[in-house]
Chains A and B, each alone.
Chain A
Amino acid sequence: MSNSININVTVNGEAVSRNVAPRETLADFLRGSLELTGTHMGCEMGVCGACLVLLDGRVVHSCLMFAAQASGSEVETIEGLTERAAIADIQEAFHQRNALQCGFCTPGMLMTAHALLSQPGVPTRDEIRDALSGNYCRCTGYESIVDAIETVARNRAAPAGSKNVVAEVGA
């Protein structure tokens, strides 16, 4: 049995080559080997959604795959999305609407919001809730999170100069 294998992954745009134990999850690899600790580990069984990352552009649970499976793929974490300002408006809306308290679930919430808002059209509140059905928050409840995502959805769809302010939504 091989104790370690070499993997090649692109993480946040950078080529990474490392030796990993086959049983190491992608989440452990990102947090432990690469020190990208924005990816959070909650349930480690694909229920809570705190560990979501983008794998070849699709949101997946990094706790539900081994790092070895990701070899040859492109991974983007919350750090990558933040650095290239892809979710700056979502982060600002979460801040404005107090859509977080402890913040543990927030990276996963932002990943889900990013995936949802990358689809064409403006999602309804029901559609936002459905998209969030795999993300647990144990502090605020979901109302303010839905508000924040709805605000960004409308702002992105609105012509420049007619943006909603966050406080109007859900007031």
Chain B
Amino acid sequence: MKARAFSYARPTTVVEALQTFAASGDDASYIAGGQSLVPALALRLQAPQVLIDIAHIPELRGIALQDGWLRIGALTRHCETLSDPLIARHAPLFHDAAPYVAHPAIRNKGTLGGSIALADPASEFPAMALAMGVELEIANLSGSRRVPADEYFIDLFQTAIEPGELLTAIHVPVVQPSHRWAFDELARRRGDYAIVGSGILADMRDELVAQIRLVLFGVGNTPVRAKRAEDALRGRQLDQSAIVAAQAALSDDLAPPDDEHTPAAMRIHLARVLLGRLLGRIAEVA
């Protein structure tokens, strides 16, 4: 349970961090909060030659409104996601999911950027990033680009971030007065990974679902947008028959694996239960 020996670098700019990675011959890992990486190093699932500590790079901090988007610096800690008033108002699914992310001591150190860069399919924040349709700001030595969440999650722990690149910020399109949202998850114990979780962002116009992003997590290799269920809801009133139709469509959207605790059929059942609850909540306030 001890990490293999490595050397330690503490850059103070993004460019310096990227150069340090390149100089390592790509045998490096970036560390921010380290709440997933340090156990992986201790278990020797990863054993880089160089650990690049990006926690002291001011460019990666800060939360600010810019032209209808909320830019959240990658180093924003989970506890700040819970306490920051701008996130609560403009990126509410991050705020609502934060109490369900691990335990208080982990939330004091873990970062939003780290969670989304890791892209654990059972984690809350990557899924909420997809539900809100964020854009991910990714830097390399040639510059910076923004990748929409719909194109960002590729496969298990695999994202649009190429080796050596750095996730620098999360840009959230701010919620509008016509938006409704809901988050919840089903877990065996508080703080455990969810069996299934979900975040929904709906644009309600004249009591009809104009647009909706319906995301589930813990159900596959990445967070999943349930597009058939979205289709079943778009243009409709959020009444019981629409909700039942969306629940029915979920079996076309999800193909969860069987595992020793949770057969696939049970996970789909629980996803339907959760979807019903969340859509019910949205309908109540719509």
Interface residues of A (CB under 8 A from B): 1-3, 5, 21-23, 25, 44-46, 49, 52, 55, 58-61, 63-66, 68-69, 71-72, 112, 115, 129-131, 133-134
Contacts and interface: CB of A to CB of B under 8 A. Distances in A.
Interface of B is mostly: loop
A157 B5 CA distance: 49
A67 to B, nearest CB: 10
Given A1-B5, A69-B55, A45 B43 contact: yes
A22 B8 contact: yes
A115 B79 CA distance: 13
Interface of A is mostly: mixed
Interface of B: 1-8, 10, 31, 34-35, 38-39, 41-43, 49-51, 53, 55-56, 79, 102-106, 108-109, 189-191
Contacts, number: 91
Contacts of B109: 55, 58, 60-61, 64-65
Contacts of A129: 190
Given A64-B35, A69-B31, A133 B6 contact: no
Contact of B8 (A44, A60, A64, A66): A66
B8 A68 contact: yes
B1 A23 contact: no
Given A45-B43, A46-B35, A69-B34, A2 B7 contact: yes
A23 B4 contact: yes
Given A22-B6, A23-B2, A131-B104, A66 B191 contact: no
Contact of B38 (A3, A46, A49): A46
B40 to A, nearest CB: 9
Contacts of A64: 34-35, 38-39, 106, 109
A58 B79 contact: yes
B35 A134 contact: no
Q: Closest 5 interchain pairs by CB?
A: A134-B103, A22-B8, A58-B108, A45-B39, A1-B7
